[in-house]
Amino acid sequence: MRLDYYFRETASGLRRNGVVAFAAMSTAFIALFLFGLALLIARQFDLVIEAWTGNVQVAVYLDDPARPDTVTRIQTNLQQLDAVGSIEYWDKVETCAAYRELFEGQPVFQEGVDCEKAIPTSLRINLADPSQFEQITAALGCEADGVTQEIQCAEPGVRDVSDYRDLLDRLTAITRVLSIGVLSIAVIMLASAIALVANTLRMGMFARRKEIGIMRLVGATNWRIRVPFLIEGMVEALIGAIAALAALFVIKVFFIDRLRGELQFFPLIRNADVLAVAPWILIAAAAVAVIAGTIGMRRFLDV
Amino acid sequence: MISLQRVTKTYKNGVTALTDVSVEVQKGEFVFIVGQSGSGKSTMIRLLLKEEATTRGDIYVGGKNLNKMSSWDVPKLRRNVGTVFQDYKLLTDKTVFDNVAFGLEVIGKQKHVIDQRVPEILEYVGLGDKVNNYPDELSGGEQQRVSIARACVNRPLVLLADEPTGNLDPNTSVDIMRLLDKVNRIGTTVVMATHDQAIVDAMRKRVIELDKGHVVRDQSRGVYS
């Protein structure tokens, strides 16, 4: 009886408010789509950063095969430097497993190349003080060749030192600008979605002011009167959220998946990444509905 | 059943609608509130429904102090107080049955309760043969009967009627008064605001006269003036 009542009220509310409800839903859709897009852009750049820098500022690649005592010796030496924050040792198995996950469904290496032969073991270092990078090269006795810029290190067992500070900084900066940019547009759109949903609720209440007046007179509780409108707002936001998710999948299939296989060493977002933003979109949609409900029904429904 | 104790009501715009009004109404009484437009009759009805709060003084309905009632309890109050208005307040897109059922539906009554009580009360008010008509197809008197049915279907302790015969011709008004009298006889306390002189004079019930917000007369078995 009760559920049935709420369902009927909501359905008739949406029907009556057709055009306005459509405006609210499409705004909610665009807002939630942009919100999801911002999250996916951030995720895409995370993947690229992970692939290109391993999320560290400096990588020390070791000669193959790396002997355990060499690894320990170099690690201990580096750990004593002020500039060094943390050091992690990545062996071939670990590194290749990470790559396989990152590039799932797309080739990283040319066919016939064995990851475990091609990839050196490494020490991945995050700097406590990024400006003191030279401490590391000095400690390992490395010198850049004046002509080729290739780094040669005196320390036995060290093959190469890569300085990812700039790349990491730049990629992080691009991520930040892009996702914050899209996110701010999303926030503005979310605000207008809230305003439009609140407006449909208000119009619905205005259209039904006589019913509401009678409901109050005969002693219907405030919730009894409000819940159909709240559900109406929820449904509008939810339809917007579902459409937004669908649109994100479309983007992923038609734009991202086309690039797969074209780009070497460039990991791309996968279905799981799109699915991972779904809860956030639903939370944002619920927030839109609740805030719109609070705004739309304030004042109108005081006893 | 109803008790107003030195009630004063001043609206936000500075108009004082009731001044120091004290009235006691016993269970099962039938009371007319008379007075010219603007004398405070409607304000008294609004205060009894807690649509407005008093500025000073206390109001008790069924033993409950309305000033100390939280907004959560206001719906409970209104379930015990039926209301009838001059303009009927019927929903034109619902049938007679559905209009009365609406009053029960929105306070969460079960369907079997509705299916039992609505035909019963419609029979009681003399509309047993109009259950499936729409309000537009009814006369004014019949529409007012629907509104009385809706007010009484939940068996309230008190029935408040604000000018219930205001839009009706004299003969129809008499019919409506007979119905209200019938409702009163089954134990419902009836408070009716009106300026229909003929009706007040004919009924010979208790009359409380308001003038510019003051009680100027409180007479049992009274007449209009």
Express each pLDDT in A62-74 by its tens digit: 777 777 787 788 7
Question: Nearest by CB to A220, which of B49, B71, B106?
Answer: B106
Spatial neighbors of B14 by CB under 8 A, at least 6 apart, are none
Same domain assignment for residues A211 and A291: yes
From the CA of A201, how many Å to the nearest CA of chain B?
Answer: 19
Judging contacts by C-beta atoms under 8 Å, the chain B residues touching residue A302 are 71
Same domain assignment for residues A222 and A284: yes
What 8-state DSSP symbol labels residue A63?
P
Same domain assignment for residues A67 and A148: yes
B136: left (phi over 0), alpha (psi -120 to 50) or beta: alpha
CB contact (8 A) between residue A220 and residue B107: yes
Chain B residue whose CA is closest to A227? B106
* Domain carrying residue A154: 55-163
What 8-state DSSP symbol labels residue A270?
-
Q: For residue B129, what are its two tokens?
A: 């043969």
Q: What is the pLDDT of residue A111?
A: 65
Interface contact B102, partner A, CB < 8 A: yes
Interface contact A214, partner B, CB < 8 A: yes
- Residue B12: count other Cβ atoms within 10 Å of its Cβ: 5
For strand B206-211 and strand A142-144, is the pairing parallel, antiparallel, or unpaired? unpaired
Same domain assignment for residues A208 and A226: yes
Q: What is the CATH number of the domain that holds A69?
A: 3.30.70.3040
Q: For residue A299, what are its two tokens?
A: 């004042």
- Residue B48: count other Cβ atoms within 10 Å of its Cβ: 21
- A1-38 pLDDT, tens digit each: 567 777 777 777 677 777 888 888 888 899 899 888 88
Same domain assignment for residues A116 and A247: no
Spatial neighbors of B111 by CB under 8 A, at least 6 apart, are A1
**Alpha-carbon dihedral sign for residues A225, A226, A229, A230:** negative
Same domain assignment for residues A207 and A271: yes
User: Rounded CA gap, A48 and A283, in Å?
Assistant: 27
Q: Does A119 fall in a domain?
A: yes
Omega of the bond leading into A65 within 30 degrees of 0 (cis):
yes
DSSP reduced 3-state for B126:
coil
Q: What is the pLDDT of residue A108?
A: 62
B35: number of CA atoms within 13 Å, CB side? Answer: 25
Same domain assignment for residues A145 and A206: no
CB contact (8 A) between residue A2 and residue B105: no
Sheet-wide strand order for A84-90: A84-90, A122-127, A58-62, A158-163
For strand B206-211 and strand B30-34, is the pairing parallel, antiparallel, or unpaired? parallel
Q: Does A66 fall in a domain?
A: yes
Mean pLDDT, chain A cut into blocks of 10 residues (303 residues total): 70 74 87 88 81 75 78 78 79 79 69 73 78 76 71 76 78 83 84 86 84 91 85 89 92 80 72 85 91 81 53
Helix and strand totals (H; E) in chain A: 11, 6
Q: Does A302 fall in a domain?
A: no
**Alpha-carbon dihedral sign for residues A219, A221, A226, A231:** negative
Question: Nearest by CB to A211, which of B72, B75, B91?
Answer: B91
**Alpha-carbon dihedral sign for residues A32, A38, A42, A48:** positive
Spatial neighbors of A301 by CB under 8 A, at least 6 apart, are A205, A212, A222, A225, A226
From the CA of B221, how many Å to the nearest CA of chain A?
Answer: 30
CATH class of B1-80+156-225: alpha beta
**Beta strands of chain B (E only): which ranges?**
2-10, 16-25, 30-34, 56-61, 64-65, 81-85, 158-162, 189-194, 206-211, 214-219
Same domain assignment for residues A173 and A293: yes
Tracing tokens 């609206």 back to the chain, one arrives at B11
Judging contacts by C-beta atoms under 8 Å, the chain A residues touching residue B156 are none
Interface contact A213, partner B, CB < 8 A: yes
DSSP reduced 3-state for B125:
coil
CB contact (8 A) between residue A214 and residue B91: yes
Q: What is the pLDDT of residue B86?
A: 93
Long-range Cβ pairs for the range B136-139 (8 Å, 24+): B136/B92, B138/B96, B139/B172
Same domain assignment for residues A154 and A254: no
The CA–CA distances, whole Å, from B94 to A29, B90, B99, B133 equal 35, 8, 6, 9
Q: What is the pLDDT of residue B104?
A: 94
Judging contacts by C-beta atoms under 8 Å, the chain A residues touching residue B50 are 303
Size of interface A-B (CB pairs under 8 A): 53
- A208-241 pLDDT, tens digit each: 888 899 999 999 988 888 888 888 888 889 999 9
Per-residue pLDDT of chain B (225 residues; tens, 9 = 90+): 899 999 999 999 989 999 999 999 999 999 999 998 889 999 999 999 999 999 999 999 998 999 999 888 999 999 999 999 999 999 999 999 999 999 999 998 999 999 999 999 999 999 999 999 999 999 999 999 999 999 999 999 999 999 999 999 999 999 999 999 999 999 999 999 998 899 999 999 999 999 999 999 999 888 887
CATH 3.40.50.300 positions along chain B are: 1-80+156-225
Contact B154, B183 (CB under 8 A): no
Q: For residue A161, what are its two tokens?
A: 């030192």
Q: What is the pLDDT of residue A274?
A: 81
Q: Does A35 fall in a domain?
A: yes
Interface contact A209, partner B, CB < 8 A: no
Contact A164, A49 (CB under 8 A): no
Same domain assignment for residues A70 and A16: no
Judging contacts by C-beta atoms under 8 Å, the chain A residues touching residue B72 are 221
Same domain assignment for residues A23 and A60: no
State the greatest distance between any 2 C-alpha atoms of chain B, in Å, as a whole number. 49
Contact A267, A47 (CB under 8 A): yes
User: Rounded CA gap, B200 and B86, in Å?
Assistant: 16
Query: Got the DSSP string for A116-176?
Result: HHHSPPEEEEEESSGGGTHHHHHHTTEEE-TTT--EEE-STTEEEEEE-HHHHHHHHHHHH
Give chain A's domain count.
Answer: 2
- Residue A227: count other Cβ atoms within 10 Å of its Cβ: 18
Sheet-wide strand order for B206-211: B81-85, B158-162, B189-194, B30-34, B206-211, B214-219
Interface contact A105, partner B, CB < 8 A: no
Q: What is the pLDDT of residue A303?
A: 45
Domain boundary among A128, A163, A198: A163
Judging contacts by C-beta atoms under 8 Å, the chain B residues touching residue A2 are 108
Interface contact B190, partner A, CB < 8 A: no
Name the residue type at position A145.
Answer: D
User: Rounded CA gap, A200 and A20, in Å?
Assistant: 6
From the CA of B71, how many Å to the nearest CA of chain A?
Answer: 7
Same domain assignment for residues A128 and A209: no
Interface contact B150, partner A, CB < 8 A: yes
Query: Got the DSSP string for B185-225?
Result: HTT-EEEEEE--HHHHHHH--EEEEEETTEEEEEETT----
